[in-house]
Each structure stands twice: as C-alpha cells, then as structure tokens.
Structure 1
Amino acid sequence: MRFRFTTLLLSLVTLLQAQENPTTTELVMSMSQRSLVMPGYLPELKALIARQAYEFWKEGNVEPYVSHLNVYQALYEANKFLGYDSVRDMAYNQVGMHSNTVTSVVFGDDPNFYYSSSTDGKVLKWDLTSPRGIPETVYESEKIIQSIEMSNDGKVLMAIFYQEGLALVPIERNQQEDIQVLEDPTPIQTATFIPGERKYLSVTKSGELLMKGFDAKSEQVGKTALKINQLKVDEQDGTIYAGTEQGVLEAWEKPYEVKESPIEDIMENWRQQSYFGYKLGSFSINCLDISPNGNTLAIGRDRGDIVLWDIPAKRLIRIISGHQSTVTDIQFNPKGNLLLTTSRDGTARIWDLTDSRKLPIILDDHDDWVFTGSFNPNGTQVITGGGDEYIRTWPVDPAYLAFRICAMINRRLTQEEWNEFIGKDITYQASCNE
C-alpha cells in the first residue's frame, strides 16, 4: 500500500471533526483505514474488515463527500490480495502485458472485447470475460504506435504512429475483402475518425488539416501554426476541436474554411465563424472528449487539471484540480455523469460530475505513468494502461468488490475479531450471508 493512501486518510479524518453527526462516518473511515494497513499475509481479515466498512457505509448516515473514496480503496486493496497470483506476481485485476509502454485502450462494437496499443508496435485484442487469456495480435508494425482509435461502426481501427503516418486496420478477418490494411505514410501530428463516415482527419507536420477517405484522397479543411496534440470531432454538428501544445483550444466549424491561426493572433473570444480559438493558458492541452449529450467538452492539460467547457454557450463551466502531473487521457462514461482521467502522476481517477464536492475514486496501482484509460460500453468497468507495460481492469461500483469478497471467503469475523477491529460496543453483524 502506498504511503499517500494513509496520509490522505489521516488528513480526511481531521476534516470530519466539523460534521454534525460524525459517528458512523468516523467508524467507516476508521475501519477502511484498518483494512488498508492490515498486512497482505492476512488477506481474509483484511477483506472482512473492508466488507464491514462497506456495510456501515451503505446503510448508515455517512458523510458522502469523503467516505466513498476510502471504502473503495479498502475494498480494492482487499480484493487485490485475495486474488493475488504469487507465481506470476500479479494482482487479480492485472491483465497480461505488452513488451513496452501501453499507449491506448479502446473498445469496438462488441463490449466483451477491447484493444490495446503499445510502443512495441503491436495492437492486441483482449477478451474482457477472460482477463488472463492470451490476447490476439491484430496488427504489428516496426513503428512506434502513439495511439489507436476505433471507427464509430466498430469495424476499423486506426493506428497512429509517432512522428510518422497511420494505418487503418479492419479488426475482423472477414472484413479483409472489404477493406485492406491501408497505410498512409504522410508524417502527421495526430488524427481521428470523422463520425458516421469512412473518412478520417489528420494534421500534417506543417499544420494542414486534411480530411481523407479510405482511398487516401484528401481535401484541406483548415490550417494551424500550432502544435496539435489531439483532435475531436463533434458528432452532432461536425465541429473539429484541437488541443494544442501552446494551451490554445482551436475549433473549425462547418462549413470548413482554410484559415491561418498564428499564435500571435489568437482570438480572445469565441466568434460565430468557421475558425475560432480560445487561449486557456500556457499549459499544453493533451486530451479532449465530448460528453454523450454533446454539451460539454472535457479538456485535460499539462498542469494536471481538467477544464470543462460549455459547448453551446461557449464558456468555461469549471476547472477540476487533483492530479499532481500531466493529464494524459480523458473520457466520459456512457451516461455522462462520470469522467475518467489518467495522468503521469501514476493514477487514474473517476470524477463524479454531478457534485463538485465529492472526492474522486483514485485508481492507484500502476508502477509508472498512466497513459490511457477507457470505460467499457456499459460504464461498469475501467481499463487502464501505462508505462509499467501492464493493463488493469477496475470495477466502477464498489458493490462488485464487496460481493467478490463474500464469494471468495467462507467465513465471517469472529466475535473476538469484531471486538478488536470494530468495537465491543457495536452490535455484531455478519457481513456475508452464509
């Protein structure tokens, strides 16, 4: 267990002193912390204490803005040790690995399968229902794969190479007659699919925005003097958004016009015209995502924060701070109420957008920078990958982690254990039904 877990929990206990009725909350916090500091060689006791903390949290009058984070972490750590594979030195949610840094994870049209890319030049297909299964190699190159993206219909995968071109790869073998692997060797900054069309958008090294069909015929739809890190196309109106290294959010609205955008002439306000830019500061914009309802643009920056932008009103909603280093990836869940971010600080975080006071769930088990993360199509799981070369899966709802404990342990806390770790004055309960 990492030191910052305990530090965070101790600091949060102090905050609870101001609560009007802190008794149940303090109990949940104390039990969560007891479980976290319990050594891994006592996995059943560690798990049963975490499970009981969850029961009190679920049923009691618990302060909502702090305790959910600690309950999740205690349940996760307990599950990690219950399912630990000592032979392969792997936690239960630790999927197999690439031979180098994992750069992207994406889902296709089948929610049971996802795809990962790596700087090792491979794209692998994983079965979510068989986490320890052998993945299928769907594409392999000698080039470094910077990222991958899936087309809207889930049939074509785009592999974007670092400082080189890209490849369009049909993900099912029976598609080979329809679409062959297409490699576009034009050096690019980044690229993305055009929603609903067999076209993609790329940015050349010299700043031209090119819209291309799968036959590689292209038309120029914009031009920039800035370094673009990521593109995102709005499915509703076709607006192209670009996050830049200079901290400027650029956009091209339909009908597109070729228009220069030098850094010294960035417009300070959004205008109703084909091109507009908004200076968000000097921190690089690394990643973008648009909410399912099309109203919010989420922007991840080098500063370690997230900017939420109101698309219809063209104004700032709020800035979310929490990461200690660069935000590397960002994604809304299918309902749009949660936001997943990954960072070079070694964590992924799940933010509840319905309440700004609620602390995020911190997924803190990678041993290096976390470069990528994705919700599964129904929003119940998160997949992450990073510099430690591993892929990890995380349930979003702590109820799954609590259920798994009871499914794996065939005993309850004894009365003596209850007295020591819960309290003699608290009525004994059985966490798991026999």
Structure 2
Amino acid sequence: MRFLLTTILCVATNFCFSQSDLKNDPKITELVMSMSQRSLVMPGYLTDLKALIARQAYEFWKNGETEPYVSHLNVYQALYEANKYLGYDSARNLAYNQVGFHSNTVTSVVFGANPDYYYSSSSDGRILKWNVKQPGSIPEVVYESKKIIQSIEMSNDGKVLMAIFYQEGLALIPTDQNIQEDIAVLEDPQPVQTATFIPGERKYLSVTKAGDLILKGFDSKSENVGKTALKVNQLKVDENNGTIYAGTDQGVLEAWEKPYEVKESPIEDIMKNWRQQSYFGYELGTFSINCLDISPDGNTLAIGRDRGDVILWDIENKELIRIIYGHQSTVTDIQFNPKGNLLLTTSRDGTARIWDLKESRKLPIIMEDHQDWVLTGSFDPSGTQVITGGGDEYIRTWPVDPAYFAFRICALLERQLTQEEWDEFVGSDIPYEVACSE
C-alpha cells in the first residue's frame, strides 16, 4: 500500500525517477556519495542497515552513469566499513580481513611461485608462509632468527627468499622443495645497506656499508660492479637491460648500466653529462627515496619518497613523466599491478592506496584500517587482491574490485531494506528495488 501511495505521489507531483532515469540523471552521483557517507557514519551495531545502505549505493554506482573520478572511492570505503562489522570477531577484536599478526612490526609481504601462498617478515625475526585461500589458518614458520629482518625479497622464479637483516648481513632461504636439497639456507654475514636478486640468475646484488655494489652468486663468488658515496635504501634491477637503480637517502636516483663502471663520480660532476655515462645520478630533490618498482612493460620506474609523493620516471628517455601527490607522510613501499595500469603505495600516514595510472583525475582507492604505519604492500599475482602489513603487527587483505564487498554483504544478510528505510536513505521519489536479488 505504501509503495502504491508513493507511486501516486510521484505521478501527481511529476517528480519521480524511473530506473532508466537513474542512468542519466546527474543527481545520482550525489545520491551515491550521500548514501555512502551515511553508511560510513552509521554505528557498527546497526550492522545490517549499515551494510544494506552501502550495498544499494553500490548498485546505483554500478548501474548508473555516475561521476567516474570521485564516487568509486566513497563506494569502496562504505562497502569495506560495512563488511568490517559483518562477522566481526569481538572477542579477539579482529575484522574479517585481518589475516593474522606477527609479534612485532611487519616489514615485508611477497608472493612466491605458487599464487596461493605469500610470505611475511617481521622485526621479530620470523618469516611466515600464509595460505591465501585459508586466511584463518595457522601460518608456517619458514625461517626464524634472533636478528631483526629489515625486509625480504623473492627471486624471479619464486623459489628463493632473501632476508635482509638490519645493520647485518642477509640469508638466502629456499622455498621450493625441489631445490631445498641442493641449496640449504645460505647466510652472508657481510653487513649491507640493502640487497636484491638479479633477474633470471642465481645471483644477488648488495650494497655494503662502505658503498660497494657487490654482485654475488649463490656459490659465494663475488664481483665489484659499482661504487656509491650515498646511503642506499633500495635497489632495483631492470630485467630487460640489467641497469641497476638505487634510491638514496639524499634524494638522488643513481643508476649503473652494463657494462658496469666501478669508479665513483662526485655528484656535482656527473650532473652535467649524466645522460652519456654508464653511471648516472639524477637529483630529484632533498627528500629520501625509499622504494622503487619497474612497470611490467619496462618503460616506467616508480619512485616513492619521504615527501609522501611518487615520481613516475621514463626509463628510456631518462626524464620525469609526472608526480603523484596524496600521502601525508613517507611512502614506504610501491608496486605496479601485473597489468601495469594500477600502482599500489603504502605510507607512514597509516594508509595504502591504489592509483589509476591511466586516469590521473581519478581519486585513489584508500585503504586505511591499519592502526600504525603501513610499511609494506603487494598485489597478488592475479592483481585482484592486495596484502598489507605494518607497525600494528597485523596483515590485512583488500580486494581491488568493490564487487567482492557487495557480494559478501548479500551472502551474509538475510533481509532487505524496508520501504520505510528506503524512503529515508534512498528517497520516496525513487522506485523501491531489492538490493540482493539473487
């Protein structure tokens, strides 16, 4: 009866929407954002209503022609916050996407050869192996040390982990059972600033405390391939041409091209003709460069800085593409998705963000439920999920597509919005519809 009266009122006042109107009316963008915000501010104990409002906002967003640069962020955050309270473990204070935790800061997360598993490291000295499909399962301890693990890296073939210790050496840890008999855990006691694997080879590159770039094989044979006077935070090796990139504390991007030159050049001398040298340095400012990643097509280097911004660097032309602003503090980790159209960043501002590199006007997806610095993040091999960790000791999972959140709401709820709730949160001028129809 109430629905009939609403329909009569719409006809009488000539002010009502049809479902086809929703695709063309600019007010729908405002409605989507309003519903998303109302869901966000609704208290968690109104779990069902909070979730249903977010779900209906998603339906309008998905089916209508809404503003593409803004509304997706509101929808994502509302759906996430609603899902957080569905199945919330109040006894252990765990949200559904909190996989588990270390006993200290989570410093790195990386995937191996099997996409169903990933590894996490912590300053507690342990490396844990987690099952993506069984997030509540107890992780396997694959390595344990009394040393503080600064970070971990995975070889390109996904078979060997490298644990880099804070102000100490490193360890190579086989993760593939087929090679564990051939390669036991190898420990390199030489203190390093940082290190990385050489793509396609059983070799790794490290920067010693003295600034020597040392290339070593798993058989411990070594070769000096470069020298730096700067403090190096991260190394990245271009698998296409072997160029070594170094992000430094002084804000200088350094690079060594094959054939490598060992001689050290003062920064003030190389700035004049760095394009013609096998070693070059480009001063990007005084802000520390903390993290680097190379796009899957090999064309772009992404550079995360202390300033909270990201520099996109043209590798072939050795020039700036653009700067991405948004974080309020240091960018701690950075990674392209497998397709290269999205970029994941983590920061000391307590958030992880996913940026659309094809459309600079589009707001990033902001993931902000960690209670401390977010120090590490990784796309899974399919690019559909993000794993993050940081100072709150927790590991969290985040779907990239908000459709997952919407599906989960319908799978867990057994009711729909009432007509009264629809009128209040959607509007009596819009025909009622069922959010979860299947």
CA spacing shift, 1:72–1:268, aligned 2, 3 Å: farther
Q: Write out per-residue CA displacement over residues 27-82 of structure 1, whole angstroms, 9 at most, x where no aligned residue.
A: 00000011101110011111100000000001112111110000000000011111
Of the three residues 404, 422, 425, the one matched with 2:426 is 422
Q: Distance in 1 between matches of 2:34 and 2:211?
A: 55
CA contact (8 A) 1:269 1:278 kept: no
Superposed, which structure 2 residues align to 1:80-91 within 5 Å? 80-91=84-95
State the SS of the aligned residue for 2:275.
Answer: coil
* Paired residues for 1:32-51 under 5 Å: 32-51=36-55
Q: Is the 8 A contact 2:249 2:290 kept in 1?
A: yes
Unpaired runs of 5+ residues, structure 1, are: 1-19
Whether 1:30 aligns to 2:34 is yes
Match for residue 214 of structure 2 among 210, 214, 221:
210
Tell me if structure 2 keeps the 8 A contact 1:266–1:279.
no
Deviation of the 1:22 alpha carbon: 3.4
2 CA distance for matches of 1:59 and 1:261? Answer: 59
Give the letter for the 1:280 counterpart.
L
How far apart are residue 172 of structure 1 and its match? 3.3
Corresponding residue for 2:161? 157
Q: 2:299 aligns with which of 295, 300, 306?
A: 295
Show the counterpart of 1:233: 237
Asked whether 1:390 is paired with 2:390, we answer no
Instruction: Name the SS of the counterpart of 2:276 in structure 1.
Output: coil
User: What is the aligned residue count?
Assistant: 415
Q: How far apart are the structure 2 equivalents of 1:288 and 1:182? A: 26
Alignment correspondent of 1:167:
171
Pairs within 5 Å for 1:134-153: 134-153=138-157
Equivalent residue for 1:67?
71
Residues 247-266 of structure 1 mapped to structure 2, 5 A cutoff:
247-266=251-270
Aligned-partner Cα distance in 1 for 2:284–2:402 = 36
Aligned-pair CA distance for 1:83: 2.4
Instruction: Say whether 1:401 aligns with 2:401.
Output: no
Percentage identity across paired residues of the two chains: 81
Q: Structure 1 CA distance, aligned partners of 2:146 and 2:368?
A: 32
Q: Is the 8 A contact 1:331 1:374 kept in 2?
A: yes
Pairwise CA RMSD: 1.1
Q: Which runs of 5+ in 2 are unaligned?
A: 1-23
Please say which of residues 424-433 and 258-267 is displaced more in the overlay. Answer: 258-267
- Residue 7 of structure 1 corresponds to none
> What is aligned with 2:81?
77
TM-score (norm 2): 0.93
1:336 is aligned, of 333, 340, 354, to: 340
Which position in structure 2 is the counterpart of 1:243? 247
**Structure 2: distance between partners of 1:201 and 1:254:** 14
The one of the two structures with greater contact order (alpha-carbon pairs below 8 A, sep at least 6) is 2
1:321: which partner in 2? Answer: 325
Which of residues 308, 314, 323 in structure 1 aligns to 2:312?
308
Alignment of 1:118-137 (within 5 A): 118-137=122-141
Distance 1:262 1:131 in 2: 50
- 1:273 deviates by 2.5
Q: Distance in 2 between matches of 1:120 and 1:202?
A: 23
Secondary structure of the corresponding residue to residue 292 of structure 2 = strand
Distance apart, 1:187 and its partner CA? 0.6
In the other structure, the counterpart of 2:14 is none
Looking at structure 2, the residues matched to 278 and 33 of structure 1 have their Cα atoms a distance apart, in angstroms, of: 44
Helix, strand or coil at the partner of 2:423:
helix
Deviation at 1:259, TM superposition (A): 2.0
Q: Which residue of 1 aligns with 2:117?
A: 113
How many angstroms does 1:217 deviate by? 1.1
Amino acid at match of 2:430: I
Cα separation, 1, equivalents of 2:288 and 2:267: 13
* C-alpha contact 1:232 1:288 (8 A) present in aligned 2: yes
